[in-house]
Structure 1
């Protein structure tokens, strides 16, 4: 191993140990003989890629790589200063050096898509000079989804509104499809993080609050587990509240006793207004508007499948015909409920349709028929007639968000919003997880959904036949096959809640200690710098123990997601500051502000858990 490679690997290990381990594993298992370092005519280094069955390529000019990259940088389309850039490709670093010389105000996130090329480059470039450059922000390597997701998250957190992607020409020539896939993943990733941040500000905390408030309701209702594969071979019609539902109402009404109907969320309003009762309602939304649906309609006689995050007042007023499933990402459920592979543990999506799809497949349905799932706003219409759970202000706000377009089933375009695009992508990703399930999209004017076959409902209805499984039979099966939790299980859940509470108390004690140290920094930075440095090291150690604990990463980070977005955007400035006085002030201000918020939220979480512990009393259950 060359000295340069050894130095670069050590630099990489110090910079990102996870990426270092990935590179080390690759070097042990992979052969990169198709990539070699060669000399250009002027004596500078070049990369040669000899791909079997494909055109052999030089990464740079065979004559003068640096001059080529300089000309590329000078001729690139101007981008405003103070922009944040993802540079697609590192190679031997020539493009990076040329670009930052030309654009000194840009902050660069480097994404090297080819792990094999990166490994070869480590033999000759100085990785330290790249990482330590004032314009460098982050390095990601390879097509692993988690690697890309981390890049997208950091780009969302730290990059300003002026975000751009700049590609090394070699990669555009070598694999344009790979580049286009990356840009689409980046677009979706940034939209997802923006949506997640907006949701955290509005309903994120309330979602977890609902989960806690619903603990005793959940533990006293059966889960969907008993219905696993009970509908094997049957077809499910999942009905959304999209505008196209109005076109299908009469046909749905005529076949409602022939097929297994699932109402996804608010679509139940339109169905009931037209005399259609589904076999099952699926509901998960945490907001008050969802409670309004149940408050305004008599739904108690229709089986209801819920997720624990559902608005807690719904379960306060309804105790019959309720079954539940779980979201795999719910931190309180993970900590307090002892779940296994047989439990109905679903992937969380932005739409209740995703939950309904997973429920149908869990129960054994091998064909999913989507009705009223426009997943866009044809003619800027939001919902089917009869859907009235939103206020006028909420509807007006939704109208204002319709700023984008999506391809529809006819090959034209529908109006849509960024949020609805994310929902569509969610559904498409979910469908891709079930290649053995047939999906049919019947919406006349809705969005094109990848992974589905489009057929009009009239044609689908003629092929369905009669499943011979009416609503009363479904209720009977729920009663027969689903079961209440045992007293031993309830005791275990209560014990898990108690353990969680104790861990939160310990976190609270650690936080108070860090706060005490922080309060002394501003004065010490002016009067005793040696002691100040020791305090900073102690704070970094103790605060690190808090934020890197499993409890913080799961529960606290979810409960305080909105506050953490703001904290993450600021905390980087502490590490960058070298002067002790402003560094101490920044630490006190940024970490101290977050701790103040954390100290306010911890008692709320602990109070809610104590309430559940008191309620989960076997003498009351």
Structure 2
């Protein structure tokens, strides 16, 4: 029984199979038993919840009896199941043959245990339309209703973040895709943050941001710089160099061209530069030497071309460059992090520290008009702030929770309270560090000079060949798209007069589309280029797949698959131009 179940799990849900195949069958664990007879009262209640939702979230798997009833009752819905009790599910797999149930095409996903629920949330967000039916097995409704409510609240919060991220991705889709591809060659000639992991272990890092508090503390930053790593987060480098302070490291992650203004001066470009794959490519180009490279976790393009995995060090995306600077400090070995100029608000109706001048006066006025929220400051009063700063605050607080082995302090004397980083004046920080070892001013540059890079010929050729392969494949896709579009143009008419022929043609369309979308490079690139359009198509996919009426199904395919094909086709010339330029940059590398 276990072997039959495992075969299906390994094919359809390998993440569940991994947890199950090593389970010891002799362990005495109770199975969550269900009544054998169909639970009509529960099913009736479920019908009222499900209504026209195409996606059903089910809390609990049990013995699978209620799941089988749901699949029978709702043949045109997809089920996403979360079973929190790993032991019960593993025992079930060992003792009962549930392989036919596991093989059901409308049983779309199973997540087992707490560490798999975020993947389930992601898939729900990808496929759900306006409504999501959220139900639980009777046992869980009776015994763990509060837990069920909590899971639903967590999902709704996750959904808000997912939607927000999609709109951000869409807003910057062209810039980010360009930056990802134009930075590829730098991976061959620049040290990665991974190579420097733990290099400065045990040090304190001061993350310097651009808030008004920085003006108050700038002289203390100069004093502290003798004993702590000074890491400038983006635009704050302007204020530091204006006051004659050169940070040990400057971090950039923003992909917009406006950042050119920040680094238009040789002085702001002088410190060692940590740039992410999302950052505006011209800045790192101008920097030339003395720089460090890192890849963003949401940058699937670089990960594909450079053959990176989730085991490599990747920067978690945050809405503020301070989040990138925090991660960099921790990867480098910092065990104490202090925030300076991290106001996350507008104390005294000021936007930035003196010396930060990359935004126009009109834009500053517009930003202040949007600051209608209030947040508690470290002095016990209230500061005006806005939704953007609140999002940044939440992201920093999440990082503090995530890196719970690191001490955090907030020295921004005018700024918002940051949970997990108690306020400590910068002069106290200085006093505590005064006896620490003195750090040489150019310690990053020294390390880079002491570790010269020789371009790896194999990596160079692998990257070059991969870019050339994708470029050729993009050309092939053009004809494949036109072929599918011709078929799509005929199926609605066929659906009314020759439904069987229409059915066969739809199968042919799905097969040809599968050959396009299953290319290894397709999803990384097009989720970057057309994130909202692909997200919309994914949301419609359940309705397309489970629709039984051939006329309606043909209409769905024409509208939604036809639409996404047009979007892909529209982007191909732009993608070709980016790949050609990326290839030229790789070819320009010397010494290979």
TM-score normalised to structure 1 length: 0.75
Structure 1 partner of 2:257 = 288
**Shift in Å at residue 409 of structure 1?**
6.4
SS of residue paired to 1:365:
coil
Structure 2 partner of 1:49 = none
Q: Does 1:574 align with 2:544?
A: yes
Higher RCO (C-alpha under 8 Å, 6+ residues apart): 2
SS of residue paired to 1:439:
strand
Matches within 5 A, 1:487-526: 489-526=459-496
SS of residue paired to 2:270:
coil
Structure 1 partner of 2:73 = none
Matches within 5 A, 1:402-441: 423-431=392-400, 434=403, 436-441=405-410
Q: Are residues 331 and 290 of structure 1, via their aligned partners in 2, closer, same or farther at CA, if it must alter by over 3 Å?
A: same
**Shift in Å at residue 142 of structure 1?**
3.5
C-alpha distance in structure 2 between counterparts of 1:80 and 1:414, whole Å: 45
**Shift in Å at residue 200 of structure 1?**
1.9
Q: Does 1:114 align with 2:88?
A: no
SS of residue paired to 1:448:
coil
Q: Are residues 22 and 500 of structure 1, via their aligned partners in 2, closer, same or farther at CA, if it must alter by over 3 Å?
A: same
SS of residue paired to 1:369:
strand
Q: Are residues 38 and 540 of structure 1, via their aligned partners in 2, closer, same or farther at CA, if it must alter by over 3 Å?
A: closer
Matches within 5 A, 1:191-210: 191-210=160-179
C-alpha distance in structure 2 between counterparts of 1:345 and 1:152, whole Å: 19
SS of residue paired to 1:358:
helix
TM-score normalised to structure 2 length: 0.78
SS of residue paired to 1:458:
helix
C-alpha distance in structure 2 between counterparts of 1:487 and 1:96, whole Å: 54
Q: Does 1:564 align with 2:523?
A: no
The answer to which of 608-617 and 380-389 deviates more is 380-389
**Shift in Å at residue 109 of structure 1?**
6.9
Q: Does 1:611 align with 2:581?
A: yes
C-alpha distance in structure 2 between counterparts of 1:488 and 1:107, whole Å: 45
Matches within 5 A, 1:220-619: 220-224=189-193, 227-295=196-264, 298-337=267-306, 345-374=314-343, 383-390=352-359, 423-431=392-400, 434=403, 436-444=405-413, 445-450=415-420, 452=421, 454-465=423-434, 466-483=436-453, 485-486=455-456, 489-617=459-587
SS of residue paired to 1:549:
coil
C-alpha distance in structure 1 between counterparts of 2:364 and 2:62, whole Å: 50
SS of residue paired to 1:306:
strand
SS of residue paired to 1:327:
coil
The answer to which of 164-173 and 565-574 deviates more is 164-173
The answer to which of 218-227 and 115-124 deviates more is 115-124
C-alpha distance in structure 2 between counterparts of 1:89 and 1:430, whole Å: 31
Cα-to-partner distance string for 1:84-108 (whole Å, 9 max, x where unaligned): 98665676999999x9xxxxxx999
Q: Are residues 439 and 401 of structure 1, via their aligned partners in 2, closer, same or farther at CA, if it must alter by over 3 Å?
A: same
Q: Are residues 569 and 419 of structure 1, via their aligned partners in 2, closer, same or farther at CA, if it must alter by over 3 Å?
A: farther
SS of residue paired to 2:258:
helix
C-alpha distance in structure 2 between counterparts of 1:23 and 1:315, whole Å: 44
C-alpha distance in structure 1 between counterparts of 2:213 and 2:493, whole Å: 66
SS of residue paired to 1:485:
coil
Cα-to-partner distance string for 1:383-414 (whole Å, 9 max, x where unaligned): 54544434567667766876878787689987
SS of residue paired to 1:535:
helix
Q: Are residues 141 and 260 of structure 1, via their aligned partners in 2, closer, same or farther at CA, if it must alter by over 3 Å?
A: closer
C-alpha distance in structure 1 between counterparts of 2:21 and 2:309, whole Å: 32
Q: CA RMSD in A?
A: 5.0
Q: Are residues 537 and 139 of structure 1, via their aligned partners in 2, closer, same or farther at CA, if it must alter by over 3 Å?
A: closer
C-alpha distance in structure 1 between counterparts of 2:310 and 2:23, whole Å: 35
Matches within 5 A, 1:85-124: 111-116=82-87
Structure 1 partner of 2:74 = none
Give the conservation status (yes or no) of the 8 Å contact 1:227–1:478: no
Give the conservation status (yes or no) of the 8 Å contact 1:300–1:320: no
**Shift in Å at residue 29 of structure 1?**
4.5
Give the conservation status (yes or no) of the 8 Å contact 2:239–2:353: yes
Q: Are residues 519 and 220 of structure 1, via their aligned partners in 2, closer, same or farther at CA, if it must alter by over 3 Å?
A: same
Give the conservation status (yes or no) of the 8 Å contact 2:175–2:255: yes
Size of the alignment, in residue pairs? 581
**Shift in Å at residue 262 of structure 1?**
0.3
Q: Are residues 194 and 419 of structure 1, via their aligned partners in 2, closer, same or farther at CA, if it must alter by over 3 Å?
A: farther
**Shift in Å at residue 471 of structure 1?**
2.2
**Shift in Å at residue 286 of structure 1?**
0.6
Give the conservation status (yes or no) of the 8 Å contact 1:226–1:481: no
The answer to which of 608-617 and 415-424 deviates more is 415-424
The answer to which of 305-314 and 147-156 deviates more is 147-156
Gapped regions of structure 1 (runs ≥ 5): 47-64, 100-105
C-alpha distance in structure 1 between counterparts of 2:152 and 2:350, whole Å: 30
Give the conservation status (yes or no) of the 8 Å contact 2:202–2:334: yes
SS of residue paired to 2:442:
helix
Matches within 5 A, 1:34-73: 34=30, 37=33
Cα-to-partner distance string for 1:484-513 (whole Å, 9 max, x where unaligned): 535564344322322333344444444333
**Shift in Å at residue 326 of structure 1?**
2.3
C-alpha distance in structure 2 between counterparts of 1:330 and 1:378, whole Å: 35
Matches within 5 A, 1:173-184: 182-183=151-152
C-alpha distance in structure 2 between counterparts of 1:380 and 1:145, whole Å: 43
C-alpha distance in structure 2 between counterparts of 1:397 and 1:85, whole Å: 43
Correspondence for 2:182 among 200, 204, 213: 213
C-alpha distance in structure 2 between counterparts of 1:95 and 1:173, whole Å: 15
**Shift in Å at residue 193 of structure 1?**
0.5
C-alpha distance in structure 1 between counterparts of 2:10 and 2:188, whole Å: 47
